[in-house]
Amino acid sequence: MQNTDLNAQLFERARRSIPGGVNSPVRAFKAVGGTPRFVKRAQGSCFWDANGKRYIDYIGSWGPMILGHGHPAVVEAVQKAVLEGFSFGAPTEREVELAEELIRLVPSMDMVRLVSSGTEAAMSAIRLARGATGRSKFIKFEGCYHGHADALLVKAGSGLATFGNPTSAGVPPEVVRDTLVLEYNNLAQLEEAFALHGSELACLMIEPIAGNMNFVRASVPFMKRCRELCTQHGVLLVFDEVMTGFRVALGSAQSVYASAIPGFAPDMTVLGKVIGGGMPLAAFGGSRAVMEQLAPLGPVYQAGTLSGNPVATACGLATLREISKPGFFEALAQQTHSLTSGLQKLASGAGVPFSADSEGGMFGFFLMKDLPTNYLQVMKTDSDRFNRVFHGLLDRGVYIAPALYEAGFVSAAHTDQDIAETLDAAAQVFNLL
Ligand SMILES: *Cc1c(COP(=O)(O)O)cnc(C)c1O
């Protein structure tokens, strides 16, 4: 019998020419089972799949689409830029404009370098931190994702403050030999790592609000101690704000911590996702002294054919302009909170263990009573139950991340009606659990 599901047909076809049928693994629905939805088009808070079915979109391209899809001001800026040329391999005024805007909004950065993906930005930031300090080792935390550069594909070794093991084939153990993997929010491990290796560390890289183990905040005392230890040992504190940047607040997650810790700022910041508004664009920045170590001024090499692409920068600038308007983040945070508090209420009513958290337009929910504080705790989620929630919502036209260790995103295009429809669907799903 002919399969009439066009998503299934496309998936079957895709698997013949693309490994696993997808160009980024989590899209394949491997964790939750079933057939990935092939997106045909999107507008505002929704997208439509190959069968013409509509979904309320809580992924927003994994964060970039903070204005929703097809925002008229952004579309206009991109259309105008396209007519002026796709790529030149020579500098443009728009790159300067975007750099100036990023520095204005994130004052911990004096200078930025534009690149094309978050992976590239995080990888380059580590090279720069190593080059600027003359040290090789660095700290990352279990459950934080900083892109797929070799030195970052690592999990904790056995024992406290030991160096890690590769998590991917093709990464030689010697490449992760200098990557120290610690538990998120674990003060004792942090102290021990600095006591043992403080003078050998180039940087500590952290997602301040982790969005790659669902949604887990670094506690204020933990972040404060990270800052103190880095300063004390001459280690660069690198905030990976690829996800949180311009998503949780206009000043990004660092502004959230600065409001709790007077004078707080990271030494370097990695950005991506929202700053491209859906086009391939990312950046890393920091103090003038550190950034001037980069080629062509300094000895740390870094380059890119499409870096600062004129169409991507137009898209990013138009997006930043919209989110800079007064009241934007207050309204976004409120809408996001109305979703998470609504879900919380429904779950309580249905007797489903549940907790949720959000900041700005980023949220996470857990099918457990208390919010987790690290990766191990996140992984204690009942994954069968999560998969039933995921498919229940999907069937009812609500698209959340197809894996329990991913955050969710609300855009400025999500209406009260969208939230009400989502809560209706969730009520049905929770009652079936
Ligand atoms: C998405 C993400 C990256 C990687 O960005 P890509 O553009 O997918 O390469 C890095 N760090 C964090 C925190 C991210 O969320």
- Say how many Å lie between the CA of residue 103 and the centre of ligand 1: 20
What are 285-294's pLDDT values in tens digits? 999 999 999 9
* Residue of 145, 257, 375, 405 marked catalytic: 145
Average pLDDT of every residue of the chain: 96
What are 170-198's pLDDT values in tens digits? 999 999 999 999 999 999 999 999 999 99
Band (368; pLDDT cuts 50, 70, 90): very high
Nearest residue by C-alpha to atom 11 in ligand 1: 146
Pick the atom of ligand 1 nearest to 280's CA.
7
- 184 is annotated as an active-site residue: no
3-state secondary structure of 311: helix
- Say how many Å lie between the CA of residue 255 and the centre of ligand 1: 20
pLDDT (0 to 100) of residue 158 = 63
* Residue of 49, 140, 257, 273 marked catalytic: 273
Give the separation between CA 128 and CA 138, rounded to whole angstroms.
12
Give the separation between CA 388 and CA 396, rounded to whole angstroms.
12
* Residue of 240, 267, 357, 418 marked catalytic: 240
pLDDT (0 to 100) of residue 253 = 98
Pick the atom of ligand 1 nearest to 120's CA.
9
Band (164; pLDDT cuts 50, 70, 90): confident
pLDDT (0 to 100) of residue 2 = 61
Q: What is the pTM of this model?
A: 0.97
pLDDT (0 to 100) of residue 160 = 54
Mean local confidence (pLDDT), 273-292? 98
Reply yes or no on whether the pLDDT at 9 is more than 80: yes
Mean local confidence (pLDDT), 353-367? 98
What are 404-422's pLDDT values in tens digits? 999 999 999 999 999 999 9
What are 218-250's pLDDT values in tens digits? 999 999 999 999 999 999 999 999 999 999 999
Reply yes or no on whether the pLDDT at 99 is more than 90: yes
Q: Where are the domains of the chain?
A: 6-70+326-430, 72-323
Residues whose beta carbon lies within 6 Å of some atom of ligand 1: 117-119, 122, 145-147, 207, 211-212, 240, 242-243, 272, 282
CATH topology of domain 6-70+326-430: Aspartate Aminotransferase, domain 1 (3.90.1150)
CATH topology of domain 72-323: Aspartate Aminotransferase; domain 2 (3.40.640)
- 240 is annotated as an active-site residue: yes
